């Protein structure tokens, strides 16, 4: 099993551009999450999903949108990227909402 796979691994955007980060899990997990990691800030929850077709806002949802059309995939979209969205993005999944399995991250730079 691949676990949690994130694509792309690296991306550089110009301010105002849009992009979608893809998270795929092959563990049949119900729960999926998008976090961002910034130095000194820990991991902050952006959006999450408690099952196929559901989404909910986390701690820092502004500027991001998500979709979970299929159980195994959770997409994070940036409609108009801003330099403040420069970060490392992690996707996580879990069969329960307590124990999470993380992907390897996407390093995003917005110039």
Partner 1 sequence: QQQVKQSPQSLIVQKGGISIINCAYENTAFDYFPWYQQFPGKGPALLIAIRPDVSEKKEGRFTISFNKSAKQFSLHIMDSQPGDSATYFCAAFSGGTSYGKLTFGQGTILTVHP
Q: What are the respective helix, strand and coil percentages of the chain, to the nearest 5?
A: 5, 50, 45
> Which of 17/52 has CB closer to partner 1?
52
Among candidates 70, 29, 63, 67, which has minimal Cα distance to 48?
67
Given candidates 33, 34, 64, 74, which one binds partner 1 under the rule CB under 8 A? 33
> Which of 19/43 has CB closer to partner 1?
43
Return the structure tokens found at 89: 């993005």
Phi/psi at 84 (5° precision): -65, -15
Ranges within 40-99 binding partner 1 (CB under 8 A): 40-45, 48, 50-51, 56, 58-59, 90, 92, 97-99
Return the structure tokens found at 69: 């059309």
> Which of 75/92 has CB closer to partner 1?
92
Question: Are the C-beta atoms of 80 and 14 separated by less than 8 Å?
Answer: no
Distance in Å, CB of 51 to partner 1, minimum: 8
The binding site for partner 1 (CB under 8 A) comprises 4, 31, 33, 35, 40-45, 48, 50-51, 56, 58-59, 90, 92, 97-105
């Amino acid at each position: 099993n691949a676990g949690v796979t994130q694509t792309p691994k690296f991306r550089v955007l110009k301010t105002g551009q849009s992009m979608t980060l893809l998270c795929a899990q092959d563990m049949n997990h119900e729960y999926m999450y998008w976090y961002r990691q910034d130095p000194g800030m820990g991991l902050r929850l952006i959006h999450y999903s408690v099952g196929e077709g559901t989404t909910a806002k986390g701690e820092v949802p502004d500027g991001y949108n998500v979709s979970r059309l299929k159980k195994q995939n959770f997409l994070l979209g940036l409609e108009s990227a801003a330099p403040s969205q420069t970060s490392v993005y992690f996707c996580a999944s879990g069969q329960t909402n307590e124990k999470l399995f993380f992907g390897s991250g996407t390093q995003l730079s917005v110039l």
